[in-house]
């Protein structure tokens, strides 16, 4: 296994993971905001 292909797959994995994480984070923020709005009502 060459190090160049290994680093390439790590880079791709990192980008995909980051995209998923940011999506999950924005979803959690939306849920948190909705809960906050409900508790105000």
Over range 1-11, report the average pLDDT. Answer: 57
What whole-number distance in Å separates Cα of residue 26 and Cα of residue 19? 11
Pairwise CA distance, residues 15 & 7, whole Å: 12
CA 19, CA 17: separation in Å to the nearest integer? 5
The boundaries of the domain holding residue 13 are 1-41
Number of domains in the chain: 1
Confidence category of residue 28, pLDDT binned at 50, 70, 90: very high
pTM of the model: 0.51
Q: Where do we find the tokens 């940011």?
A: 22
Q: What is the mean pLDDT of residues 12-31?
A: 88
Distance CA 2, CA 19 (A): 26
Report angle CA 8, 13, 18 to the nearest 5 degrees: 130
Q: Where are the alpha helices (DSSP H) in 1-41?
A: 3-40
């Amino acid at each position: 296994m060459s190090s160049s292909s290994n680093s390439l797959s790590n880079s791709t994995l990192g980008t995909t993971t980051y995209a998923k994480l940011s999506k999950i984070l924005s979803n959690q923020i939306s849920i948190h905001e909705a809960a906050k709005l409900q508790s105000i009502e």
